[in-house]
Structure 1
Amino acid sequence: MTESSVLGGDAPGPLDGIRVVELGIWVAGPAAGGIMADWGADVIKIEAAAGDPQRAVFASIGVRDDIPVPPFEMDNRGKRSVVMDLRDAAEVERLHGLIASADVFISNMRPGALERLGLDHQTVCERHPSVVYGLVTGYGLEGEERDRAGYDVGAYWARSGLAHTLMPPGELPPNPRSGMGDHQTGMTLAAGVMAKLVERGRTGRGGLVTTSLLRVGMYSIAWDISVEMRFGKRAATTSRTEASTPLVNCYLAADGRSFWLICLEGDRHWPKLLAAIGPSSLDADERFATAKGRYRNASALIAELDAIFAAHDYEHWTSGFNEHDVWWAPISSIPDVLADPQAQHGFVDMTPRDGDEPFRAVATPIDFAGYTIRPGVVPMLGEHTDEVLADLDEH
C-alpha cells in the first residue's frame, strides 16, 4: 500500500465536533490551539481589544508593522477570533458561558492572572466539571516562581539545562531560534488534552491538564539528566574536532556543503565507510581498527576524515555513502528544506483571504489516514465576535 493511498482524504478531522476556547497569547498556548484547529476542532480565540501581541511581533522588535506575520499565521489559522474585555466582570461571566459550551479550555496566561480573573483551574473545573482545562506555564503550578515570566528562551532553553548542555566549556550558548520550545510545549499540551478527552469519554468528567516550558525543556534532555542523576556526571560537551564519536559527527566537503555521519554502530558501519571512502591511509591504521581504538583516538580520526572529505565535493561523498549503505544526513539550510522532495509533506497550502496571493506554511507534524489538513483563514482581530456571542446568547 502506498503512502498516497493511506494519507489524505475528505474525512472530517479527528477533532470534528470538539469546541476549544483558547485564552492564549504569544506562542505556546496558541500553538496548542492551532494544532487542535488543524485537527478539525472549532477553536475560539479570546483576545483583548489590542489583540494577541504576537499579531504585532515584528513591530515590537523594531521591524516593519505593515507586513504579514507568518509566526502568528502558523499558530492561529482556522480559529475564530472574539474580542472580550476581561477587566469587566460581566464579560468574564459571558466567557464562562462560552466555556460551558466547550469541551476544552486552554490558556498560557500566568496562574496569578487567571486567579484574579476567576478563570483559574479550580474555579473553571468546579463550574464546568465536564470541561478539559489545559494550562501551559513557564515554571509549573507550584513553587515560589509559579508566576515568573517564562518565554521559551528563559524557561525551556536557559533554565532547563538545555542551553548549557550544548556549549563547550568557556563559551556562551548560541541564541535559540524563535518558538522552538513553545512549539514542543504546545504539542505536549495538545497530547495531554487528547488523553484527558479519552478519560472523559469513560468518566464524563474533565479536569486539569498542565505542562510547563521548564518541564518540556528538561524532558528534551532527559538522556543527559538521567545519566547525571545515576552517575553524578555526564559526557562533556565538546567542539566537533574533540568529539568522542567520529562516526557520529559533521563534516565539510570540498564545495562547502556539509553532512552528518550517523554511523552509531561503529564496528558494523566502519567497513562500509571505508568502502565509500576508497583506498586511503585509514585502511591499515591500527589506531582505528576497533570501536575502542576509534574512541581513544577520536580527535586524530576526525582530523583524518576532515582531510579526506575536503578532497571531493558533496555529491561525490554522498553518492558513495548511498552506494555502500553508509548512514548519513544532509545539513540543510531552510531553503534546502523548502526544496527537499522528502520534506514536501511537511507543508500545507494556507487559505488566503479574497484578493490575497496563495501561500504555504509548515504543517502540523502528525497525519491521519483519510484526513487532509485544510487550514482555515487566519482570523482578523475580533472577526467573529458578533457571530460567536450572538450564538451564545441564543443558546
Structure 2
Amino acid sequence: MRPLEGVFVLDLSTLLPGPMATLMLAEAGAEVVKVERPGRGEEMRTYAPKWGRDSVNFALLNRGKKSIAVDLKDPPERERLRPLVERADVVVEQFRPGVMARLGLSYDEVRKINPRAIYCSITGYGQSGPKRDAAGHDLNFIGDTGLLSLSMGELGHPVVPPALIADIAGGAYPAVMNILLALRDRDRTGSGTHIDVAMSDNLFTFMYWALGNGLAAGEWPGNGTDLVTGGTPRYRLYATADAKMLAAAPIEQKFWEAFCEVVGLPEGLRDDAVDPAATTAAIVERVAEKPAEHWRERFRIADCCCSIVADVEEALCDPHFRARGLFSHVLAGEAGARIAALPVPVANAFRAPPGTEIEAPALGAHNVEYF
C-alpha cells in the first residue's frame, strides 16, 4: 500500500507547478482528479511535441491522474463539483488571486462545504502584497528575487537558466511539502487549512549564501563573482579541445591540489588567492589543449570533483542512472507507445512497482465515474 492511498485530490491547476505537485501525490498513491475545461482541456495538452492525441509534456505531468471536463464559469456545471469538494482531502488551484472567489470556489466557500479540506493556492507572488495580481513567468520570478542576477552571463551574451526554477523548486516542491505537513496537522486538529504558495517567495531559500554574505558581511554578490557562481578558478566551466565542457568543482584544498596536478598548473599559479585571473587563464589554456575523453579519464583517476558535462541524451544513457532505476517507471500512450515516466523525488518504496504501465487521462475520460 502506498502512503497516500485513500487521499482524494481535486486538481484545478494547469501547466507546470500544480500538475507537477499533484503528479508527485499521485505517484505516492493519491487519487488525483484533474478538472479541465470542456473542449480543449488544459492548455498544455496542445503543446508540441505531440505524443498521440496530446503533448508529451501533458502526458509526463499527468501520469496516473483522472480527468473530468467541467465548465467552471457555468453555475449549474460548477455545482456538479460539490460532491467532489465534499470528499476532497486536498484542493489544488493555480489561478490568479481572486479568480476562485469569482467562481464561487474560494477557500472560504470550500471550507463551508468541507472544513477538513486542505486548500493549496499556487501563484507567482502570493495571495497578498503589491505584486499579487501581476502577470509573470519563471524568468520574471527569478529576476525579481535577485536569483537571476547571481549568474546571468555577460551583458552581450545573457544566459537564460536551463531549468524552470521558480515553477518547480519554488512552486511544485513547496506545494507538496506543505500539503503533506497540512495532512499531518489535520491528523492532530481535524481541520483543513489554506496554503499560500508564492513561487517567488520560495526562491530566497536558494540564496542562503548570498543573503548571509550581504546581511552579515555587507558583501552583496554580483553576477558570477562568488564561489558557486564562477567567481573562482575552483568552481567553473572550462572548454576542452573538442568543444565540450569540463565542470570543475575542486573547492577543498586536497581536491584543488589534485586538480592542479592533473592539468599541470605551474607552481607559481597554484595559490589562486594571489592572482585568480592569471590562474584561471592558465587553466583555460591547458584544458583547451586536450579533448574531453582525455580529461574524463584523468579526472576519474584523480577523483577531485571534476567531470565532463553530459547532454541530456547522454545522461539518460549513463550506467549510473540506469543502475539506480531512474527511468524504470513507464508512461503508457496510445497504440502501444511507451516511454520512461518522468523521474520524481518520491522514493521507489512509495510508488507503484517499476515497469507498471500508467497513462495520462484523455480529456473528460472520468466524467461518467464521478457524475
Q: Same fold (TM over 0.5)?
A: yes
Query: CA shift at 1:217, angstroms?
Result: 2.6
- Given that residues 69 and 363 in structure 2 are in contact (C-alpha distance below 8 angstroms), is that contact kept between their aligned partners in structure 1? yes
Deviations 1:24-48 (A, max 9, x none): 1111111111111111111000011
Which of 228, 234, 250 aligns to 1:263? It is: 250
Query: CA shift at 1:67, angstroms?
Result: 6.7
The alignment partner of 1:359 has SS state of strand
- Bigger shift: residues 162-171 or 31-40: 162-171
TM-score in terms of structure 2 length: 0.89
The answer to whether structure 1 residue 387 and structure 2 residue 358 are counterparts is no
CA 119–171 in structure 1, closer or farther in 2 if over 3 Å, else same: farther
Give 1:223's aligned amino acid: W
The answer to whether structure 1 residue 201 and structure 2 residue 187 are counterparts is yes
The aligned residue for residue 20 of structure 1 is 9
The aligned residue for residue 55 of structure 1 is 45
Matched ranges for 1:369-388 at <5 A: 369=349, 371=351, 372=353, 374=356, 376-388=358-370
Query: CA shift at 1:314, angstroms?
Result: 2.0
- Given that residues 247 and 308 in structure 2 are in contact (C-alpha distance below 8 angstroms), is that contact kept between their aligned partners in structure 1? yes
TM-score in terms of structure 1 length: 0.84
Matched ranges for 1:112-123 at <5 A: 112-123=98-109
**Aligned residue pair count:** 363
The aligned residue for residue 166 of structure 2 is 181
Give 1:19's aligned amino acid: F
- Given that residues 348 and 362 in structure 1 are in contact (C-alpha distance below 8 angstroms), is that contact kept between their aligned partners in structure 2? no
Which of 96, 102, 109 aligns to 2:82? It is: 96
- Given that residues 27 and 179 in structure 1 are in contact (C-alpha distance below 8 angstroms), is that contact kept between their aligned partners in structure 2? no
**How far apart, CA to CA, are the structure 2 residues paired with 1:181 and 1:348?**
27
Query: CA shift at 1:245, angstroms?
Result: 1.6
**How far apart, CA to CA, are the structure 2 residues paired with 1:68 and 1:90?**
28
The answer to whether structure 1 residue 365 and structure 2 residue 345 are counterparts is yes
Which of 302, 311, 325 aligns to 2:289? It is: 311
CA 171–346 in structure 1, closer or farther in 2 if over 3 Å, else same: farther
Q: How much is the aligned-residue C-alpha RMSD, in angstroms? A: 2.5
CA 67–104 in structure 1, closer or farther in 2 if over 3 Å, else same: closer
Query: CA shift at 1:204, angstroms?
Result: 1.4
CA 46–17 in structure 1, closer or farther in 2 if over 3 Å, else same: same
Unaligned 5+ residue runs, structure 1? 1-11, 390-395
Unaligned 5+ residue runs, structure 2? none
The aligned residue for residue 139 of structure 1 is 125
Instruction: Give the % identical residues.
Output: 26
**How far apart, CA to CA, are the structure 2 residues paired with 1:96 and 1:222?**
43
Matched ranges for 1:317-356 at <5 A: 317-344=295-322, 345-353=325-333, 355-356=335-336
**How far apart, CA to CA, are the structure 1 residues paired with 2:329 and 2:205?**
32
- Given that residues 90 and 118 in structure 2 are in contact (C-alpha distance below 8 angstroms), is that contact kept between their aligned partners in structure 1? yes
Query: CA shift at 1:96, angstroms?
Result: 2.8
- Given that residues 292 and 308 in structure 2 are in contact (C-alpha distance below 8 angstroms), is that contact kept between their aligned partners in structure 1? no
The alignment partner of 2:186 has SS state of helix
- Given that residues 169 and 238 in structure 1 are in contact (C-alpha distance below 8 angstroms), is that contact kept between their aligned partners in structure 2? no
Deviations 1:341-385 (A, max 9, x none): 222333244342452322123211231436436463111110111
CA 339–99 in structure 1, closer or farther in 2 if over 3 Å, else same: same
The alignment partner of 2:84 has SS state of helix
- Bigger shift: residues 115-124 or 215-224: 215-224
The aligned residue for residue 233 of structure 2 is 246
